[in-house]
Amino acid sequence: MIREADLVSALKLDIIVPSATGELPINEANICRPGLQLTGYWDFFAFERPQLFGKVEMAYLDTLDEATLGARLNTFFSFALPCVIVCRGHSIPPIMMELAKKRSIPVYRTSEITVKLEMDIINYLRDALAPTITMHGVLVDVYGVGLLLTGKSGVGKSESALELVKRGHRLVADDVVEIKKVNETRLSGTAPEAIRHLMEIRGIGLIDIYTMYGVASVIRSKSIDLVVHMELWQEGSSYERLGMSTQTKEILGVKVPYLLLPIHPGRNIAIVLEVAARNLRLKQMGFSAADVLLSRQEKLAGKE
């Protein structure tokens, strides 16, 4: 369900016929322009989508005689339509208003051109209907790379993020990260409204990063490009030394590059995280230090 108030506010729509429940049964990020249906062709009618009436649709309705117009619209409104949106500020035929009220189908109007509104509503629905979860962690933007820091409470996630902010990077969320699946290969993270820009530092309490470090220290949302799991150094555990293999973590069905980062006293985690972000960018551009090492070894072996 999509809240009517949210849709109207986001797209700047005028309510002509309101929703009876305040919610709209929309479950996919797409629209339908019912041109063919208005001519009487009802096969493959995507009635479950928002119905968009632009200049072409309204001009065609003006060509119909009263009896034909009533019959076509009566059939149109017999479907369980989530809503009807009329663009370009067009006048709405009285019969359309009457049938919409009778069938309790919301009708909205906007002065926006049809193509622009079509893009806006698809983008809005794609974001509003995206699968979402919340995770315990910290999300920071480091050199344009979204690092999701995870690990047990007290391992140093917030302190590391604070050091990164001091070094000129940006905080997205601390403690709780809301993660949305934007598409099949991309995740986006943000902070819940209640704790946005706030960070908890044990021994001090809550601090406001925006107020303390300025507008350049925070960002509202960021793609999640790398998951860094922080854990206290465990003797005997096996940690990556060369970076020969690429590990991933699956979140909402999307595989994200993953690093296990051991923590021990004296290690500058902020610098290590900066290096991890830079190294990911290099790998995405096709450069791997591990491949360079292998190439050198092969050359040396060939000389023997």
Residue whose entry in the numeric block shows the structure tokens 């065609």: 60
Q: Identify the active-site residue in 12, 136, 267, 278.
A: 136
Q: 151 CB contacts (<8 Å, ≥6 apart)?
A: 137, 157, 229, 230, 231
Number of other CB atoms surrounding residue 103 within 10 Å: 15
Clarify whether 103 is annotated catalytic.
Answer: no
Q: Nearest CA to 49 among 122, 104, 109?
A: 122
Q: Nearest CA to 201 among 193, 212, 192?
A: 212
Clarify whether 175 is annotated catalytic.
Answer: yes
Separation in Å, CA 15 to CA 109, 184, 228, 300: 7, 34, 47, 75
Residue 108 · residue 83 · CB < 8 Å: yes
Q: Identify the active-site residue in 49, 157, 169, 229.
A: 157
Q: Identify the active-site residue in 3, 126, 127, 175.
A: 175
Residue 258 · residue 229 · CB < 8 Å: yes
Q: Nearest CA to 209 among 222, 195, 221?
A: 195
Q: Nearest CA to 244 among 168, 182, 297?
A: 297
- Measured between alpha carbons, how far is 289 from 150 in angstroms, rounded to an integer? 26
Q: In the numeric block, which tokens belong to residue 215? A: 């507008």
Clarify whether 157 is annotated catalytic.
Answer: yes
Separation in Å, CA 169 to CA 136, 149, 186, 273, 280: 20, 14, 21, 11, 16
Clarify whether 136 is annotated catalytic.
Answer: yes
Q: In the numeric block, which tokens belong to residue 152? A: 């047990």
Residue whose entry in the numeric block shows the structure tokens 């209907």: 129
Would you please indicate which residues are annotated as catalytic (active-site) residues? 136, 157, 175, 241
